[in-house]
Structure 1
Amino acid sequence: MPRDAEKARAALGSSVGVDLDWSSFRTIASLWGQYGFCARIRDRARQQSFVLKHISPPAPSTGSVSHERKLKSYLNELRFYRLYAKTITAETGLALPEPYFLSSTESLKSSGTFEATLLLSDLSESFPLRAPPHLPLDYALAGLRWLAQFHAFFWESDSESQGELAPIGSYWYLTTRWAEFEEIDTDEWPHFSREFAERLHNRLLGFPRGDLSLRKSYMEKGRSPSYQASAYDFQYTGYGYGAVDIAYLMTSSVSLATLQGQGESQLLDFYHDQLTHLLGHRCRGYDRSVLQLHYELALVDYVRFMAGWGLWGNSSWARHRVDEIMGIWSCDGGVRNDRNILHVLGGCTRAASRRFTVVAAVAGSGR
């Protein structure tokens, strides 16, 4: 039996409730930083496929912010599946993995090692099309449709006060990314001062999301011309602007051809139409201009992270868009003024400043 299978079998024990066929075990991915693995396995009776995720982190360096962030993200993922996954699917019809077994050995308050195991339904059986690395329009619309339903489910949720999910939904938020911030070349990125980064971070606090790249998804071709999306990997789901998910999706997954011309604006229009239709009267005040501001704040913040961590995805497009956004923010009667950028981050219109709390889906990669 492969070593990964031995680890997983020992972690599951005899209480899993599914008769797994261990001869079918196949490792399909390693978790970021060698924190564990994901595998596929079938049960004997129904030949149903499952995804088994086993987290067993390496020994951390003393006081490692990165290690603590990752462990918190895995505990967050466990909470998401325990508290929300089945309810979301039942109430919205969204495709998420169904949890069959969830366990963790210790909380972060304990000393010693941390391990966790998740046995989840395999979405690829019902959604056989793997999303391509550069999403064409139909795939992008399916992702935005999924996000609108997810955000509507959590719209202005009060769960944040109960500490059920991560207080900030993303893997790049500033308070755990100072090391990356210090790597920013300020000659190349003159706007990304410490004061700017802190104000931008504070402006984004208290509204949901996570890390949804549609590389973390499967698709199916519906009976209509459109595709239907599913999503998995919810480590970094938490509170924030739903637009954080949109900015991440645009930068990481949507094809450049889809974003060109009016493409970006049309995708935002589509998401806003989907969301407001689902929310009805609950979306009062969340007009298209508010979404635009939230999206621009989120896009600038993600590029701020990439400037120190490394550029990827549609980075040239994102950088160009951030230059445009910063140029608009800095204008005062036609004169560029960087202090105006800080003014924009310090306060916006009443509607734009209102807490449209949502849970961001940012599907976590374990970074």
Structure 2
Amino acid sequence: MSASSSPNDVASALLAEKGLQLQSLKVLQSLWAGYGFICQVTASPIGLAQSYILKLITPPPAKANDEGHIRKILSYQVEQYFYSHLAPHMPPSIPVAQCLASINHHHPNGTSTTAMLLADLKQQYPIAGEKREALSPTQVHTSLDWLASFHGFWWPRMKNMDRKALVRPPLEEVKMQRKNQDEMTVWLNGGYTYLATRRSEFNLLVKDNDAEWNESLTEWEEGDISLSEMVAAVLAPKPQGWGPTDDYQTLIHGDVKSENLFTSVAGDKVAFYDFQYVGLGLGVCDLAKLFTCSVPLSMLYSGDHVPRELPMQQGEKDLLERYLDLLKKTGQKSYDWEIFVRHWETALVDWLRFQASWGFWGNTEWLEARVRSILRDVEWKSGILGNRTYAETWSTVN
């Protein structure tokens, strides 16, 4: 596959591997910053045509120390690995798109061509989640069940994952200079908002003395370690050795929101897609974004106006209990409610740190009110501060 291959050329080559012939191709959208295309492909041998999705990534050459650019390139390779190597092991009860064929070619000019030919989810799940829109209550419950099943399935399997092959934060990954890019699997730390890769945004918050969250999240809490760094140290999976949440780490989607899923017409069936940031983490980190960005506020809080501080309400608790019950049932492991809530509230603080430094959207009043309440919880804070020595070690390498 040459660096100048067109979407038609790539689609035809991938289809040929399965004995299929391209009939038509329609570009549905461009990828971020012109890095490629999402295309709908129609193909068949002889007879009835079938619809597929081609995700074609043709980014410009890597730029030295451009963290965002490197993150994107790595994310597409991670997604390809997930669809090609991990997704086939998942049961049909956790639906994702089947990957029929894929390529990952590196060219002499420093560019690359990554492509995946995927089953078209809209054939079975015709309702697309809309950008930054709340889901219906039925869709919320179905999405929670999918996440609990996904996290539960991978939870007991994490002990068999080779952490040497996990993809490190972008700039760290570049320094590793892997001889074989095919040795990479998924992210060591799932998601794209964790502090180790968001230092530039965090530094803006540090300098913004007028911001409400400047003092509580960025000022030194113990020695020269901020609360945000202590929270990050608790949540971050470790490349080796022990971490405070190791027993609960699983594989997380990494970018859970309404626009990354399709549902049935009734909303009682769901399939997630866009696995560019799949990796190790606590399942509650996926929930923090889902609750803030895609769950109707009325399912989290029943009042007319969100107060300045807000402890957990019954609606939030009901959703969390539904998730945790299915997570434990699927994973066949124990997860004490008190520990789970501690992890959940820590994930909310970490998610707020990203929004406060990058930009707010979604149920922001609810999120901020919840975090104000969490930060006043002496028991929660003492638990975070109890990891001070561990946080100091984490901060020296991040």
Q: TM-score range by the shorter chain?
A: 0.7 to 0.9
Partner of 1:354: none
CA distance in 2, matches of 1:166, 1:172: 13
Which residue does the alignment assign to 1:171? 192
CA RMSD of aligned residues (A): 2.3
Alignment of 1:125-140 (within 5 A): 125-132=123-130, 133-140=133-140
Structure-2 residue corresponding to 1:7: 6
Find the counterpart in structure 2 of residue 181 from structure 1. 202
State TM-score, norm by structure 2.
0.75
Instruction: Identify the residue that residue 395 of structure 2 maps to in structure 1.
Output: none
Correspondences of 1:232-243 after superposition (within 5 Å): 232-243=273-284
Contact 2:191 2:279 in 1 (8 A): yes
How many angstroms apart in 2 are the aligned matches of 1:131 and 1:195? Answer: 37
Aligned to 2:118: 120
Instruction: Give the count of matched residue pairs.
Output: 323
What letter is aligned with 1:192?
L
- Equivalent positions of 1:277-296 (< 5 A) are 277-279=329-331, 282-284=332-334, 286-296=335-345
Aligned position for 1:267: 319
Q: Which of the residues 194, 217, 221 maps onto 1:192?
A: 217
What CA distance in whole angstroms lies between the structure 2 residues aligned with 1:243 and 1:75? 25
| Correspondence for 2:260 among 216, 223, 232 | 216
Quote the Cα distance in structure 1 between the aligned partners of 2:123 and 2:320. Answer: 30
For residues 87 and 43 of structure 1, what CA distance do their matches in structure 2 show? 26
In the TM superposition, residue 278 of structure 1 has moved relative to its aligned partner by: 2.2
* 1:252-263 equivalent positions in 2, closer than 5 A: 252-261=293-302, 262-263=314-315
**Counterpart Cα distance in 2 of 1:311 and 1:95:** 31
For the 8 Å contact 2:134–2:258, the answer to whether it is kept is no
Tell me whether 1:327 sits opposite 2:376 in the alignment.
yes
Displaced runs of 4 or more, over 6 A: none
> How far did 1:140 drift?
0.5
- Summarize the alignment of residues 42-57 of structure 1 with structure 2, pairs less than 5 Å apart: 42-45=42-45, 46-57=48-59
User: 2:141, 2:338 → 1: CA distance?
Assistant: 20
**Deviation readout 1:78-112 (Å, 9 max, x if unpaired):** 11111111221xx35211000011111139xx981
- In structure 1, the partner of 2:362 is 313
State the one-letter code of the partner of 1:178.
R
Give structure 2 stretches of 5+ with no counterpart.
166-184, 219-224, 238-248, 303-313, 388-398
Which residue of structure 2 lines up, in the alignment, with residue 303 of structure 1? 352
Q: Percent identity?
A: 31
Cα shift at 1:344: 2.6
Deviations 1:142-200 (A, max 9, x none): 00000111011111312153523210011111111111111213432121116222211
In structure 2, relative to structure 1, the CA distance for the partners of 1:316 and 1:29 (3 Å cut) is farther
- Residue identity opposite 2:196 in structure 1: T
Deviation at 1:20, TM superposition (A): 4.2
State the Cα distance separating 1:13 from its structure 2 match.
Answer: 5.3
State how far apart, in whole Å, the 2-side matches of 1:143 and 1:20 are. 35
Partners of 1:148 and 1:75 in 2: how far apart?
A: 25
Tell me which residue corresponds to 2:104.
104
Please report the TM-score for the alignment, with normalisation by the length of structure 1.
Answer: 0.81
Secondary structure of the corresponding residue to residue 227 of structure 1? coil
In 2 relative to 1, CA 296–18 (structure 1 residues): closer, same or farther, beyond 3 Å?
Answer: farther
Moved more, 40-49 or 13-22: 13-22
SS at 2:106's partner residue? coil
In structure 1, what is the Cα distance between the partners aligned to 2:345 and 2:21?
A: 47
Contact 1:203 1:346 in 2 (8 A): no
